[in-house]
Structure 1
Amino acid sequence: MNDHLTVLAAACAEVGLDHTNAEPIRLGENALFRLPAGVVARIARSGQLAAAAREVRIAQWLAEHEIPAVRALKDITQPAEVDRRAVTFWEELPPHRNGTPAEVATAIRRLHDLPVPTDIGLGSLDPFVRLAERIDAATTLTEADRTWLGEHLASLQARYANLPPGLPHCVVHGDAWVGNVVATDDGQVVLLDLERCSVGPPEWDLVSTAIKHTSFGWITADDYRDFCDRYGHDVITWSGFNLLRDVRELRMALYIAQRAAEHPLAREEAALRIAYLRGQAARPWAWTPEL
């Protein structure tokens, strides 16, 4: 916390913002603080300057196309960099709640319909980004589990190289779940966390909601049907669904497995998720939605 505050103070001084009485919103891989005058500061993990700059460009591009999304603060040069930590500044959202499946569908449909830009460095979707590092960091797992995870990752990467044809590639959010699509009290449905925005198969964004029904039973069949109707496509009917489902499930399992190294309460859930990946239970799985 103190390290974050030191970085925050230096970054605010660099761009001329007041950090008096900064309030922590979330302290994780990225630390978020609420500043005076409706500003949110986001401190990225070390070495992410280029990624932070790219996220600001994406936010500016979405604003130009009138897509409801988090807005990078105007009239300052960002990101700021302090001790290899990139700090970006954003307009604070009005009061809001997590989106519903139908609201997620509406938001990503608008995004997917945009023309693909050529001048903001979007790059291609990498569904495997940081997964090998997370396996290395999952020190609470058995060596047998860690070995299996490495082999499973390699198998998925090989299968992804031959991903079946699907919908035309477009701009995808990259992490389109209900925590990253929120509904504000003034009626906006807003995209958050633009870090994984890229160009790729739109099915990647659709799978996140589909598995909430098929893999975990977190949403009802009616909720999922509403999602499909709002978007205009059911990704479960696509021949590549199982592959993207398996990749997304691996990402979700490894997120908790990495957290378990520092958060003892996550250890049981991490072991459970890996056991399910290894075929020790049939879907729907009894994963805890949030930890």
Structure 2
Amino acid sequence: MPNSLVARLQAALSLAGRHHDIHSIRLMDDTGLAHHHLWLSRDGDDWVARLPKQSQLGLDAQANLTYQSACFARASESGHTPMLQDVLPPSDALPRGGLLVAAIRGRAARLPDDLPAIAEALAGLHALQMPPRAQRLPLHAPDNPWSAVCKEIETQARWLAEADLDPVVRKSIEAELNALPDTLPEAESKLISFDAHPGNFLITDTGQAVLVDLEKCRYGLPGFDLAHASLYTSTTWDLNSRAVLEVDEVVEFYRHWQRAMGEEPSAQSSRATLLACRRAMWLWSLTWCAKWRAQHGKTRDASVIGEDWSAELSSDALVDHVRERVEHYLTPSIIERVKAELSDLNDALAQSRE
């Protein structure tokens, strides 16, 4: 696969007329279920090629590239994401095409030390001016972002029945799903990552946090990003940035984001809204775990269209890591741990400022 993938990228670059100033191509570690990444050494600044293994949004190859290129183009205005350089269209060499983005030299996030930098990066994204409604496409831009995420969770939850879960775990998840509120206080949509776990950030030599994975951006509630950056199921996912946060560290993360946004607690960042988004993001992650557990043993989709969680698309080491994390998160003790943290965080946020 490595030599074949490099050769296929070289062929696609040549077809696009982008091969002249590239000196070498290096396959990077296989760390994600959605993309292969290759480092392109070239005259001037280096690039990274992001070659989709699948579309997590269920899109065909061209629509997936269009969506992802919009994510990078719009998020780069924050100054905390890589710049989009070019798009490689689907071809015989690369059936799903690829994106070329500016390479970011940095290290993995260290928690909790880098939480302020992550909060500032997210604030930079969330502070971007919303475009007029007609200009928000192709990004997902639901009129009611809370209801839209709840619907996604409900759809993923259908896999609970096929994931062969411990009955106690399934019952606990279903009880939490039933506890989600039908509505939230009025909260303004912003451009969000919807994939802001700490493993998706690199920290530069200047201490800036750069969010390097942007394929799932949408217009939604910032609380989803804040949750994804600080939940137990996020901070313990990536091997290089793994950490368990204390409640007071999470509180300060939220407060640092509020200060970076230049706001006081409001409908946008009230305790009720932030905690509801946190619970929903956790349940989104748990139902995704059930979905992956049920689907990863399937044969890869030969049509290379849409979503595909087949383990055949990733290295054995990555699949083993994902399996270990999924099994860990879907245990009674860890579910109770996160539930207790939600309760403690509610109390801590109420005491710190409301």
State the TM-score bracket (shorter-chain normalisation): 0.7 to 0.9
Q: What is aligned with 1:101?
A: 115
Between the two structures, name the one with larger relative contact order (CA 8 Å, sep ≥ 6).
2
| C-alpha spacing 1:51/1:160, structure 2 compared with 1 (3 Å) | farther
How big is the shift at 1:206? Answer: 1.7
So what's the TM-score if we normalise by structure 2?
A: 0.63
Offset of 1:97 from its aligned partner? 3.0
Q: Which residue of 1 aligns with 2:245?
A: 219
1: CA distance, partners of 2:250 / 2:130 = 28
- After the TM superposition, which residues 74-93 of structure 1 pair with which residues of structure 2 at under 5 Å, given as runs? 76=86, 78-83=87-92, 84-93=95-104
The answer (yes or no) to whether the contact 1:257–1:266 under 8 Å persists in 2 is no
Identity of aligned pairs, percent?
A: 18
Could you say which residue in structure 2 is the equivalent of 1:45? Answer: 53
- Mapping for residues 44-63 of structure 1, pairs under 5 Å: 44-46=52-54, 47-63=60-76
Query: Any residues of structure 2 matched to 1:276-287 within 5 Å, and which?
Result: 276=332, 282-284=336-338
Secondary structure at the aligned position of 1:174 is classed as coil
* Aligned CA distance change for structure 1 residues 129 and 26 (closer, same or farther; 3 Å): farther
Q: Which protein is richer in helix relative to its size?
A: 2
- Offset, 1:34: 0.7
Q: Scaled by the length of structure 1, what TM-score is found?
A: 0.74
TM-superposed CA distance for 1:255, in Å, is: 7.4
**Using the alignment, how far apart are the partners of 2:321 and 2:72 within structure 1?**
35
Matched residue count = 274
Quick check: 2:202–2:211 contact (8 Å CA) kept in 1? yes
- Ranges of 4+ aligned residues in structure 1 off by more than 6 Å: 158-161, 213-217
Report the CA distance between 1:43 and its aligned residue: 0.5
Consecutive unaligned residues of structure 1, counting only runs of 5 or more, are: 286-291
Q: Give the RMSD, CA atoms, in angstroms.
A: 4.1
In structure 2, the CA distance between the partners of 1:240 and 1:61, relative to structure 1 (3 Å rule), is closer
Tell me whether 83-92 or 185-194 shows the greater mean CA deviation: 185-194
Unaligned runs of 5+ in 2: 55-59, 237-242, 259-264, 298-310, 312-318, 340-354
Counterpart in 2 of 1:67?
79
- Aligned partners of 1:211, 1:95: CA distance in 2, in Å? 23
Deviation (angstroms), 1:25: 1.2
Does 2:28 correspond to 1:8? no
Equivalent positions of 1:1-291 (< 5 A) are 1=1, 2-18=3-19, 21-27=24-30, 28-37=33-42, 38-46=46-54, 47-63=60-76, 65-73=77-85, 76=86, 78-83=87-92, 84-98=95-109, 100-117=114-131, 118-119=134-135, 120-124=137-141, 127=149, 128=152, 132=156, 135=159, 141-142=163-164, 156=177, 162-212=182-232, 218-232=244-258, 237-238=272-273, 240-241=276-277, 243-251=279-287, 253-254=289-290, 257=293, 261=297, 262=311, 263-264=319-320, 267=323, 269-276=325-332, 282-284=336-338
Which residue pairs with 2:316 in the alignment?
Answer: none
Asked whether the equivalents of residues 173 and 194 of structure 1 are also in contact (C-alpha less than 8 Å), the reply is yes
